Amino acid sequence: MYVAGMSSWTWVCVMGGALVCVGVVTRIVCRQRRRLPVPRDVVLVHHFFGRGWKVPSKSPFPMKLETFLRITKTPYMNDHSGRMSAKGKTPWIEYNDTQVSDSQFCIEFLKKKKGIDLNRGLSEQQKAIARAFLKLIEENLYWALCIELFCNEANIPLLKPMSPLKGLGFWLYYWFVKRSIKSATWGHGIGRHSVEDVWTIAQADIQALSQYLGQKKYFMGEEPAEIDCTLFGMLSFLLVTMQGTRYESFTKQNHANLVTYFQRMKSSYWPDWDTLITASESFQNDQGPTHYSGLSFILTC
Amino acid sequence: MDSIKDFVKTYSREICISAAVGVALVTIIKRRKKRIKKVYPANTVVHHQIGRGPHAPSLTPFALKLETYLRMAKVPFMNEFDSSTNRSSKGKMTWIEYNGEEIADSEFCMQYVNRKFNVDLDKDFSEEDQAAARAIQRMVDEHLYWTVALYRWVYDLQHGIDVSTQLKIPWPFVRLLGNMVKKQSYGQGVGRHSEAEVHQVMEEDLQALSKFLGKKKFLLGERACSADCSVFGMLGQLHWHSYGSEAAKIYKKYPNLGDYCERMKEEFWPDWDDCITHGWTREATK
């Protein structure tokens, strides 16, 4: 069937493309209009799509950044709208009109601007060890956790309650996230291993963390250091988001010192944890929208 | 020109069929070659790697790491320089074969050898030291590696360094590899940073290695541990294969790392000169 010189299929494609363009432009315009009025000298933290179901953040990196701000008592405000940085990474921050992305660069930036240094009590060798563990956690263990959660089908029942999308929406989301992780981890290298091989790698990392922590109050000693922010963020992912997986039970059974460490950090720096998780009855939205539903996410402002 | 066009038009069907048959033949022949597996001596680790490098025994840090480890562990092994075409099951170029069993990934290879030969290079170190060494290995293999790869395959080209001649790789392949590294490192994360930021994180990693090593002979003291193989493999690329690039300039700020590389070379590679091509001027004999 032809209308105005174009077949009906061409019309369908043209209209579909036009709708997508309108949706994207509307979203961009709405986001720009909706910039939060943040005061001077207050850090605006852009989170990964709002608070989590049982953890204040779905991703360990905003947890790391926010824990750092809490330990250092830096004034900050949260934005849960899900805006991404120019690098396509999140979390990211804005501070007095400067944007910084990547959680580690954000921390380095704030150290310089605010003159704070959680590592000042560490020797040079301790700083070096802390950096090595930072990389073990963020460049290796993190990917192992993602692979287990999204590429091991045994964990699908755990993901379903966490996701605000149900039915077909959940399956589309799951397929999309799994595909992204497989693609990123293939390039990284760790994704070329089977899920069982990745499990072996993760056990070695968790063991190393437990062995180095030992019976210390914080990872490096008696005072919290930057690495504690990273480790706490990753443990909240491992022990709470991944609750019910073999990774969590392995850690609880064999490396209980990591669990007690996590509880200590949580009660010291996150006493309001229960008001920041959507599964809790006492949940309070501490800034910006915290939920979304499927396609309406693209079109709502 | 016209006669060629006419020829193609007239015999287009025959040309298509010949092309399809040609492709099928090549695929079958290649598959047959793969199925005819070479027979190696029993109870000998066969280390599959790419060919020898110009100034260090390998251009890839993981082959240098794995071979250094096999020497450190004193297990019987032989080298097979075929992995450019004979890749591991995981698509990587450093793998081992032992009595018909194939193992991919340098860390898994080391763990396999430990089990088969009852070797544990780290047993006499404290748990805390072993944990720290594990973290150093992860930092080097999972993070520093990407900064080195980005410099070698992406930034050095942009700075006008003739990577193709230095690494004896045809220019189009250098471009292809550069694109592959860009794509892989983007997924991994480091590739999303600007060059200045990659420079900064590389320097932070090297500084951490330098401070951790300090004045010690090896990472954990007087005796080498398995993590020394990773560190040597990676630093070896900066020490011997950086050709005055920006990466080499960062590396030279930490002279104790250079001294460490020379010590590792003396200790585990007494036959070093037979294992390199001396700038592609001669064949390596080992």
Please check whether residue B114 touches A, CB under 8 A. no
* Phi and psi angles of residue A7, each rounded to the nearest 5 degrees, phi first: -70, 165
Residues of A in contact with B134 (CB under 8 A): 136, 204-205, 208
Residue of A135, A140, A182, A213 for testing the chain B interface, max B β-carbons within 10 Å: A135
Q: Which of A88, A184, A208 sits opposite B188 (nearest CB)?
A: A184
Residues of B in contact with A127 (CB under 8 A): 208, 211
- A-facing residues of B in 211-240 (CB < 8 A) are 211-212, 214
Judging by DSSP bridges, how do beta strands B45-48 and B95-98 pair with one another? antiparallel
| pLDDT tens profile A53-72 | 899 998 899 999 999 999 99
For tokens 């060919």, the residue is B51
Confidence of residue A283 (pLDDT cuts 50, 70, 90): confident
Q: What are the tokens at A213?
A: 């922590």
Residues of B in contact with A204 (CB under 8 A): 134
Between residues A288 and B252, the one the model is more confident about: B252
| pLDDT tens profile A185-222 | 998 999 999 999 999 999 999 999 999 999 999 999 99
Count of beta carbons in the 10 Å neighbourhood of residue A160: 12
Task: Determine the distance in angstroms separating the CA of A89 from the nearest CA of chain B, rounded to an integer.
Answer: 9
Q: Which of A88, A128, A188 sits opposite B188 (nearest CB)?
A: A188
Answer whether residue B35 shows pLDDT above 80. no
- A-facing residues of B in 121-150 (CB < 8 A) are 127-128, 130-132, 134-136, 138-139, 142-143
User: Which DSSP state fits A217?
Assistant: S
- Closest chain A residue to the Cα of B129, Cα to Cα: A212
Type of residue numbered A174 = Y
Please check whether residue B192 touches A, CB under 8 A. yes
Q: Given this model, what pLDDT does residue A295 score?
A: 32
Count of beta carbons in the 10 Å neighbourhood of residue A272: 12
- Chain A residues with a Cβ under 8 Å from any Cβ in chain B: 87-89, 102, 105, 124-125, 127-129, 131-136, 139-140, 183-190, 192-193, 197, 200-201, 204-205, 207-209, 211-212, 214
% of chain B surpassing 90 pLDDT: 64
Type of residue numbered A123 = S
Confidence of residue A235 (pLDDT cuts 50, 70, 90): very high
Residues of A in contact with B107 (CB under 8 A): 201
Task: Determine the distance in angstroms separating the CA of A294 from the nearest CA of chain B, rounded to an integer.
Answer: 25
Residues of A in contact with B183 (CB under 8 A): 187
Between residues A129 and A27, the one the model is more confident about: A129
Task: Determine the distance in angstroms separating the CA of B35 from the nearest CA of chain A, rounded to an integer.
Answer: 23
Are A185 and B139 in contact (CB < 8 Å)?
no
Between residues A198 and B26, the one the model is more confident about: A198
Confidence of residue B162 (pLDDT cuts 50, 70, 90): confident
Distance separating alpha carbons of residues B54 and B121, to the nearest angstrom? 30
ipTM: 0.74
What pTM, to 2 d.p., does this model score?
Answer: 0.80
Q: Given this model, what pLDDT does residue A294 score?
A: 28
Cα angle at B125 between A129 and A130, to 5 degrees? 10
Confidence of residue A15 (pLDDT cuts 50, 70, 90): confident
Task: Determine the distance in angstroms separating the CA of A290 from the nearest CA of chain B, rounded to an integer.
Answer: 26
Cα angle at B171 between B165 and B172, to 5 degrees? 165
Distance separating alpha carbons of residues B141 and B143, to the nearest angstrom? 6
Q: What are the tokens at A254?
A: 């064999």
Q: Given this model, what pLDDT does residue A34 score?
A: 53
What region, left, alpha or beta, does residue B221 occupy, with left being phi > 0 and alpha being psi -120 to 50 degrees? left
- Closest chain B residue to the Cα of A133, Cα to Cα: B135
- A-facing residues of B in 85-104 (CB < 8 A) are 90-92, 104
DSSP per residue over A248-275, as a string? HHHHHHH-HHHHHHHHHHHHHH-TTGGG
Task: Determine the distance in angstroms separating the CA of A90 from the nearest CA of chain B, rounded to an integer.
Answer: 11
Residues of B in contact with A134 (CB under 8 A): 139
Cα angle at A268 between A121 and A78, to 5 degrees? 95
Are B138 and A102 in contact (CB < 8 Å)?
no
